[in-house]
Amino acid sequence: MTPSKSYIHDRMVLLLLTITAFLVTLGTVLILLKFNPGRNEGYIAQYRANLGISAFKVGHTSDLLAFIVFLFLTAATNTVLSIRVYRIHRQYSVAILSLGVLLLVLAIIVSNALLVLR
């Protein structure tokens, strides 16, 4: 599955792929900088609004490191889908990459919000 030459030379696709790579790198760095492996009490990994007082659920460090895996999987999946759809229609490919960028931004916001809560 090699991308076509027109896909590689499309400026909008290259811009979105660059933004995707930047967001994955930024998200990974932000998570790792706020990550403290010596912390014993755990991290807040979930917020359930319907539980009232016990709305915050404590998780392990692997729960927060899963955000990094999610960032990489999202970027890879969106890139592969974009390459496959580009042959059908260029605008669909750009839409897939744009929605992937939105998903990466939201993942960074959520992971940052969970790491700030102590």
Q: What is the pLDDT of residue 64?
A: 78
Which residues, including other chains, have CB under 8 Å from residue 45's CB and lie 6 or more apart? 57, 58, 59, 60, 63, 64, 114
User: According to the model, what pLDDT value does residue 44 have?
Assistant: 72
pTM of the model: 0.84
* Domain definitions of the chain by residue range: 5-39+61-113
Q: How far apart are CA 43 and CA 63, in angstroms?
A: 9
> What's the pLDDT tens digit per position in 53-109?
777 777 777 777 888 999 999 999 999 999 999 889 889 999 999 999 999 999 999
3-class DSSP state for residue 46?
strand
Categorize the per-residue pLDDT at 9 as very low, low, confident or very high, splitting at 50, 70 and 90.
Answer: confident
**φ, ψ dihedrals at 21, nearest 5°:** -65, -40
